[in-house]
Amino acid sequence: MAQKFDVISELYDRACLEIITDPVKWQSFLQTAGRNFKLRFDEQFLLFIQRPDATAVLEIERWNETFERWVNKGAKGIALLSMENGRNVLRHVFDISDTHSGINKDFQIRTKAVIPDLFRFGI
């Protein structure tokens, strides 16, 4: 595991300067970061380096338990650097395009805010 951690750390270090000095790459990074705004900056950066087209990423457990979606066989995880109990560790997340529904219903990400029908509820 230490070897993978070192590879991801080196990838992060090499790509930092390249992305922040190129306006086109910086704008692409901001688009990816905007779609995954709940991640920390360093996680957004690693996400962009490995998977710039990622739409929504979560750990496999969250896809399974919260959204009842399962990661496709053979899907490659996106490695992110984390700290657990004072140790550097890798955690892997998967994009929604790497998942499928177990009950054959489509899952769509809404890009516009949904306004509830407050009058229906008497509010």
pLDDT in tens, 47-59: 999 999 999 999 9
What angle, 0 to 180 degrees and rounded to 10, lies between the N-to-C axes of helices 23-35 and 41-50? 110
| 51 CB-near residues (< 8 Å, 6+ apart) | 57, 78, 95
What confidence score (pLDDT) does residue 73 get?
93
Return the H-helix or E-strand segment holding 99: strand 99-101
pTM (2 decimals)? 0.74
| pLDDT tens track for 26-53 | 999 999 999 999 999 989 999 999 999 9
Instruction: Report the alpha-carbon distance of residue 29 to residue 16 in Å, rounded.
Output: 11
Mind listing the pLDDT tens digit for each residue in 52-99? 999 999 999 999 999 999 999 999 999 998 888 888 888 999 999 999
Residue identified by tokens 């054959």 is 104
Quickly list H helices, 1-123.
Answer: 2-21, 23-35, 41-50, 60-67
> How far is it, in rounded angstroms, from Cα 91 to Cα 79?
6
Buried b (16+ CB within 10 A) or exposed e, 87-109: eeebeebbbbebbeeeeeeeeee
